Every structure is written in structure tokens, then in C-alpha cells.
Structure 1
């Protein structure tokens, strides 16, 4: 086995063991984060150039907070991968209208990504349930093999859904009749039901219910999970308006309307515990940490102050673990609050960070 392959196998084994340690201490997280930074520094050439420009090397970085984050837009311009791209088992791509404009995330194995998703979904969404009948408002991964959300929902249905669970979006779009029939059955049989999908996919469902004058009262134990926002695919809804409409349309309390926050450039998802109030508090498992920074300086901002979110995801081992997003947020006890997309000076700061990274990484 080649040296690079041995290093990859060792880091995967160490990560899988760390994912299985929910009681891991902050010191253990830091040790794993620094080990990963060393691995990525050695095997990811564009990232090494950037880190060197910043004066950050495995010899000088002593805290996970000092590991330099990569601006999320850099994934559209550069190949950020420790393994040869052609050796990846799966390539997830961001949404976009052209291949050239889509960010890519390379996975030499899906074992770590799948473990990250399943362990967290089991704890944060299923919460001790066995299986539940699911309706999926998004195409499956057979239709969208490069979509991380399609993979996520396929795993959710396979591992946690009953045999009657169904994908309700296909080549012809949303199957409204099948959805309404599933909702009616759940209501009549008092069978808990879960609807999962992209946030924008719920808007035409709500419109269809309104057009038909229909409302459902799903039984206790039912829940709704949305993710990803509206992305120009439907009309924008204010969060309170959106969750009010979901609660009214399906008879599910807002506390059972969950939101998952994830992205192609990460291998871990964040969750809230419902949206009884907005913005909700989001948090992740023990292998991910979040900071809020001033995008112009990169300095951490104090709790409660609005800035730009940086996520440090140990499960995202093959690219870079530290990601500078373009999402505004604030740190709060137990997690963070997502406050929309950055604008104004924060947006300018993110653009400057992208320019700096590309100049260093391509140099």
C-alpha cells in the first residue's frame, strides 16, 4: 500500500473511532483536529499553500481555533482533496445551473459521511423512535447521485423509515395525489408520519392544501424536517410564517417542525429541537465545532454578537475541515443561531477572504 493510502486508512480508522466517543473531551477534539490539519496540510496542495501564506503549519498551530478556514466559494474554483479526484467513491456537488459553477466535495469513502449522518439523525431526529413512515419531498440519490441531500434523505428512509415510506418527487415533479393519500391514511389510522425534504418543496404542498381547502391533523409523534431554504425555487417565506403554515397545514406543533442545517462542503449536519420560536438554536455532534468571526479580521466574536459562521467538521477529512461560510450567525449557550446570509461589510469581508485564498492557493 502506498504511503498516501496508508495515511488515509489511518486517519479514517481514527475518525471512525472518534465518532464513536460521544463523551470525548475538548482536549480530545483538539488533538483530533490538529492531527487532521497535519494530514490535510501534507496531502492537499492548495490548502497547504494557503496555510503557509497565513504562517500556519502543523508546527505552529496549537489550537483548533487557529486552523485557517477556507472560504466556502473556493470549492467552486479549486480541487480541494487529499485523495486524487478520480479515486473518490462519490463526488457531491453544490446546486447550480452549470457544471463549472458548482462546488465539489470529494469523498474517497462514504463510510465516514454515512456514519456522521446516521449517528446524528438517530439521536437528534428519531429520539428513541424505531421506524416511522416517511414521505420524502426530494428526488432520491439514484436520480441525483451528486447531491448530498439526496444521499442524506435516501439514508434516512432506508435506515429509519418503514417499508411504506416513499419518495414523492420524481421526474414529473411532486406527486400531490400520493402525498395527500399518505397524509389521509396517517390521519385516519393514527399512524405517526414524517415529511422530510428541501424547504422550498414544502411551499407547493402548502399551496395545494390551500387550493383544495384541506388541512390535516397528523397524530402525535409525527414530525416535519426541512432544510436548505428556498434558493429561488419557490417564493420566500419568513421563518415564522413558514412554520406557522406547516403547523396549520399538517396539524403538527411548531416544536415538531425541525430544521436541518447542512451543506455540501461539510460532512456533518446541525439540528434544532423544533421551531416553536425563531431563530432556533442549532447544534451538532461532538465532532464539529462552530465559531462566529469578524470576516475582515478573522477574529472570534463574543457570544451574542453577529458575525460570520465558521464550522470545523472533523468528519470532513478529505478536503478541509475548517470552512468559512457566508452565513450570518451568533454564538449562544449550547450552540448558535442562524441569522440568514451575510450582507454589507460582512459580505465584503467574505469576498476579500475568497480573493486572498485563491491568490495564495493558486500561487
Structure 2
């Protein structure tokens, strides 16, 4: 068993005390096994010999996933996820070595937060993702439905009125514009988690997450809206209410200074989001995103996008 496979077998055991050491071990492995990442690190003069703590690890700019097959080691992909993107932009590609591993991690993250999937009827309202294909979100939801309550499925806006009246515990997960379409019809719902994945897809005007959640709360008659933070380039997801996300123990959000990528902001300060996702051991665990955010305690917020960045389908823009 090679390093990556051993690493994956202990992934769920990572905690606050072991996170830094696990991250440095992953950096050492990926520096030597991912030629794109190594070239980038060498350009910055950052190597395993010189990097001694998390703040010194280079984070690969997310645009590299648009132009390169990011792999650590030599292997044939089991699946290629593509970002939703736009018709005028190049889509990111995430080469997945082991789709079962992706699903296993996603299921654990969800159930640690919300309990067994068998407790839920999943009502998925994700027309844009279904039509585009190769979506990591659709793959995750498909897998979740294998373990969820009978009657789970994908629904169009006009088909879900009866489902909303179902007395079973429900997970209603949808792209923002589609959820708003349903909420506008005053679809009051009981015994449900409403979860938005972001994205107006040009169907509605952009709005802040607070505005979106206020509209959805009024329309569905619920006390809170949940959000999912995920992206094509990550194997892990974050969940949270009121726009505050939390990652599993093996992933972490760091906030970099906008003007100095190797300087990190204190809690509560706004900057660029860097993500360590140790579940990405087969690709790259260290990703510099184009999202703006801030960390508060164990949670993080996504506040918008850098200027001139593509609007990513899985997040809102302020």
C-alpha cells in the first residue's frame, strides 16, 4: 500500500492535534508526486526542506485545474468532474482516482452533521447541474439517494407541490434560483432542511446570501436556511446555517492577505480563501481559491469573489 492509500485509511482520524503534521506529510508527498505542484513550489522556492509550518505551504491557484490534469502519482481516473462554469469560460476539471472514496467522505461529512441519510427523503431541485453533466454535486446527491428514504428524487419546480406536503423528514437541496422559484409560490413546508448550493445561473439578479436566505425563509416558512460549500476541485464539503460554514476535521479554511499570499489574516478579518482538503491526497490538498471570506471561530463565511473572477456556480456573489 503506497503513501496515498495509507493516508486515506487514516483520514477520518485527523483532528486538531494531528492536522498540521498530516498537512505537512501531504505536502511532502504531493511535492514529490505531482509535477505541476512541484514546479509551482520550486518557482516560489518553497520545498519540503524549507517549509516547516502550514503558513509556509504554497497553495495552488485554482485556475490550474482549468488547464492541467492535477494528479499526485500515476493513475487512471475513475471519473472526471467538471465545474458548471459558463459558455464563455473554460471549465475546471477534477480527475478522480477513486469515486467510492469521494462518496464515502461525502456521506460521512453529511451524516456527522445531520444524522443518517436514511432519515431523509431527498428533494433535489438542481436542473442546471443535471443538464450540464459531470457534476460532483449531482454525483454526491445520486449517492445520497441510495441511502435515503424511498421517494427521494430530482424534481422540477412544478412537480414538487405534493412532495412538500409529505410528512417525512426532508432534505430539500437546490440551486438558488430554483429554490426561489418554488418559494415564490408560497410553498410552506414542515419537517424539512432547506439547503441552497448557490448559483443564479443568469436566471435571476444576483443578491447577497442574507437577501437570499430572507426570501427563502419567508417563502418556505422555516427558521433557517442551510448552505453547502463545495467545489469541483475539492473532495470535501462544508455545511452551515446563515452562511457560516464548517468543514470536517480533515479540511480547513485559511484567510490569506489580499496583497501577500503568504501572510494570513486574523480571525474576523477579510481576505482570500485558501483551503486545505486532506481528502484531495490524490490531486492537490492545498488550493488558493478566488473567493473572499473570513474565519470566525470554527466557521468561515464566503463574502464574495475577487474582481475579474469567473462567477462560480456553487457560490453567491456580493
Question: What's the TM-score, normalizing by structure 1?
Answer: 0.78
- Per the alignment, residue 205 of structure 2 pairs with 235
**What is the aligned counterpart of 2:181 among 194, 200, 204?**
204
The aligned length equals: 308
CA deviation digits over 1:73-119, x for unaligned, max 9? Answer: 1211222212457x100111112345981111111112332222111
Q: Distance in 2 between matches of 1:146 and 1:129?
A: 23
2:196 pairs with 1:226: yes
- Per the alignment, residue 126 of structure 2 pairs with 138
Where does the alignment leave 5 or more consecutive residues of structure 2 unmatched? 310-318
CA deviation digits over 1:147-167, x for unaligned, max 9? Answer: 1111121122222x2111121
Q: Distance in 1 between matches of 2:28 and 2:47?
A: 8
CA deviation digits over 1:41-97, x for unaligned, max 9? Answer: 122111111111111112222222321001111211222212457x10011111234
Q: Distance in 1 between matches of 2:130 and 2:34?
A: 30
**What is the aligned counterpart of 1:194 among 166, 171, 175?**
171
- Per the alignment, residue 325 of structure 1 pairs with 289
**What is the aligned counterpart of 2:302 among 338, 360, 363?**
338
Q: Distance in 1 between matches of 2:67 and 2:25?
A: 26
- Secondary structure of the equivalent of 1:302? coil
Contact 1:304/1:331 (<8 A) preserved:
yes
Find the structure with the greater CA-based Rg.
1
CA RMSD of aligned residues (A): 2.4
1:296-307 alignment runs, 5 A limit: 296-298=259-261, 299-307=263-271
- Per the alignment, residue 50 of structure 2 pairs with 60
- Secondary structure of the equivalent of 2:10? helix
Q: Distance in 1 between matches of 2:96 and 2:117?
A: 30
Q: More helix by proportion, 1 or 2? A: 1
**What is the aligned counterpart of 1:17 among 6, 10, 14?**
10
**What is the aligned counterpart of 1:251 among 200, 217, 221?**
221
Q: Distance in 2 between matches of 1:40 and 1:62?
A: 15
- Per the alignment, residue 359 of structure 1 pairs with none
Q: 4+ runs of 1 displaced by more than 3 Å?
A: 97-100, 127-130, 139-145
Where does the alignment leave 5 or more consecutive residues of structure 1 unmatched? 1-5, 169-173, 348-363
Cα 1:140/1:235, change in 2 over 3 Å: closer
